[in-house]
Chain A
Amino acid sequence: MIGAPLTVPARLLPSVRLRRRVALFAASIAGLAGLFLYLHVDPLILVSDFHYVTGVIDEMLPPNFRLLWVKPSIWQSLVQTVSMAFLGTLVGAGIAFVISVLAAGNTAPNGAVRLVVRTLLATERCTPNIVVLLVLLIAVGIGPFAAMLSLCVGSVGMFGKLFADAIEQVDPAPGEAIAAAGAGRLQILRYAVLPQVLPSVVANSFYAFDVNLRAAVALGVFGGGGIGFEINVARSVLRYKDMFACLILVMVMINLMEHAADFIRKRLFSLEGELR
């Protein structure tokens, strides 16, 4: 093999790789610039207008925690936000469970019902929360009730499908066994299907509560009440110190709720055997 020319595929040559990388980099920069141009936004205002950001931060500091005793309704608005998430999750999960029975292949009365329910659930999942809220605000009026209902609708979309999938994956043997012993449809659901899906239903509901709590803050901004509403009010009257205090409260609340949910979940699942 002496004298055989050493050939390296061109794509492995350092110069080619470098050129390709530079081209890719340039292309993505150009693409990004194009996108900014499309929006008529100058990304450099991040640098040139940064003093506004520091200005706002200056305005926000220190957070005005005096709010907590000067304006005790803040506490109520926190409770309100948690309540919205709690009820929305609970009612939503309940409705989702009933609906998922109709959407699961092995429990639905027939294929047509299953298809219709599945399509409705898919449509709901594609609908942004805000659309549901805006419609509900018109229907039941501004306030926490509208926000709770829209969280409820959102939870049904989120969990109807998950629950239905869980039901479709249950082991058919127990159901067939008690059907052979003469169990009716509802009895099969209660004694063969429910025990098998309950752990996943409960676990998903805890997750839903976590998602819904954040959404409850967001929906409050649009007139759903609760702490989100307080934040928006404080911002629109330029009381940034109050707003910052509320923000910290929100973070603390979300953290506390996460820990509380974890604690309850652990206790529940240590009882899991008994739950069945």
Chain B
Amino acid sequence: MTWNGYSLARYGRYARTVAVLALLIAVAAWQCEVSLSDLVRGIVKGLSMLSLFLPPDWSAFSEMVRPALVTVVICLIATPMGAALSIVFGLAGARNVAPAWLRMISRSLIAAERGLPEIVILLILVAAFGLGPFAGIMALAIGSVGMLGKLVGDAVEEIDARILDSAAAVGATRLQVIRHVILPEILPSMVSNSIFRFEVNIRASVLLGAVGAGGIGFELNAAINQLEYSRATVAALTSLALVFLSERVSDYLRERILTGELA
């Protein structure tokens, strides 16, 4: 049986997969309340609202500089804090450094953290510390541990056992092994990963800011809630520039580290 050169024998065996996929899509679309008429209406409405967003109200830009800096500073504090924490958790989660029970605890904490989006952590912290940059800093620092802690743990476990044995053979204590063998070994990749995490944190902190952690995300959300759309455009463009710059800087620094220029 063929149709336009497509034979049933060749494509028929995909029928079940296609049917399952179609069913999943149908259920998902129903759950997401997908509606084409909403989409069309949304596009029309969006186009008509474009005149509200444009032109950007550039006079607001001077008010955006400080929030943007606050976002950067939040990440500047949170990333090293997270990196330091993740060294502790990473070492505790490495088979060749920590006892099995400690490794279990540390690894499951790290995994649990990775399962939670930063915003959820922020919501808990906001309940404790109230709105403000401090909750944002803590949320990003804790959020960094999920990624960096796992990377540190894996990197430590990959260290050649003979190096650790030789240090122990000359009488180094566990702390001395960590200080003089393990740390120098993982430091370059650690720095490079932390810089990458900084970039991720900048993106995340725009979102966290909108919940109330301050910074450029807060300005953006506030402008939209107050219907000052041309001001919101400036905030959006500022955050875009921030992310772009952090990406460029992070790429540049990591390349330098990778090639060993900045060791």
Residue of B nearest to A55 (CB): B128
B210 at the interface (CB under 8 A from A): yes
Q: Does A26 contact B (CB under 8 A)?
A: no
- For A60, the chain B residues whose CB sits under 8 A away are 124
What sequence of 0s and 1s flags, for each residue 201-234 of chain B, a beta carbon within 8 Å of any chain A beta carbon?
Answer: 0010011001100100100110010000000100
Give the CA-CA distance A143 to B39 in the complex, in Å: 13
Complex Cα gap A217–B115 (Å) = 11
Whether, in the assembled complex, B31 has its beta carbon less than 8 Å from a beta carbon of chain A, the answer is yes
Q: Please tell me which one of the listed residues B70, B127, B203 contacts residue A39 in the complex, with CB atoms under 8 A apart.
A: B70
Interface string of A187-230 (1 = CB under 8 A from B): 00000000000000000000000000011011001100000100
* CB-CB contacts below 8 Å: B5-54 with A: 24-25, 27-29, 31-35, 38-39, 41-43, 45-46, 49
Of residues A49, A140, A232, A251, which shows the largest number of chain B Cβ atoms within 10 Å of its Cβ?
A: A140
B155 contacts the other chain (Cβ, under 8 Å)? no
Residue A90 interfacial (CB < 8 Å): yes
Q: Is B104 interfacial (CB-CB < 8 Å)?
A: no
Q: Is B244 an interface residue (CB 8 A)?
A: yes
Segment at the interface with A among B180-188, B235-243, B254-262? B235-243
User: Contact: A129 with B46, CB < 8 Å?
Assistant: no
B163 at the binding interface (Cβ < 8 Å): no
Of all chain B residues, the one with the shortest Cβ separation from A238 is B127
Check if A86 sits within 8 Å of B129, measured CB to CB. Answer: no
Q: List residues of chain B with CB within 8 A of the CB of A130.
A: 206-207, 210, 217, 220-221
Known: A46-B138, A53-B128. A39 touches B73 (CB 8 A): yes
Contact between B243 and A126, CB atoms less than 8 A apart: yes
A-side contacts of B207, CB under 8 Å: 128-130, 218
B119 within 8 A of A: yes
Q: Does B99 reach chain A (CB closer than 8 Å)?
A: no
Asked if B217 and A235 sit within 8 Å, CB to CB, the answer is: no
Knowing A130-B206, A217-B120 are in contact, say whether A144-B31 is a contact too (CB < 8 A): yes
A56 with B43, Cβ < 8 A, contacts A250-B116, A250-B120 known: no
**A183 contacts which chain B residues (CB < 8 A)?**
none
Indicate which residue in B119, B123, B134, B243 contacts A45 across the interface (CB closer than 8 Å).
B134
Question: CA A254 – CA B112 in complex, angstroms?
Answer: 10
A residues less than 8 Å from B32 (CB atoms): 80, 83-84, 87, 144-145, 147-148
Cβ-based interface call for A141 (8 A): yes
Is B55 located at the chain interface by the 8 A CB criterion? no
Using a CB–CB cutoff of 8 Å, the interface residues on chain B facing chain A are 24-25, 27-29, 31-35, 38-39, 41-43, 45-46, 49, 69-70, 73-74, 76-77, 80, 112, 115-120, 123-124, 126-129, 132-134, 137-138, 203, 206-207, 210-211, 214, 217, 220-221, 224, 232, 236, 239-241, 243-244, 247
Q: List 26 A-B contacts (CB under 8 A).
A: A32-B80, A35-B77, A38-B69, A38-B70, A39-B73, A41-B132, A41-B134, A46-B134, A49-B129, A83-B27, A131-B239, A131-B240, A134-B224, A134-B232, A138-B46, A138-B224, A139-B43, A140-B42, A143-B33, A215-B117, A217-B117, A228-B117, A228-B120, A235-B123, A243-B123, A250-B120
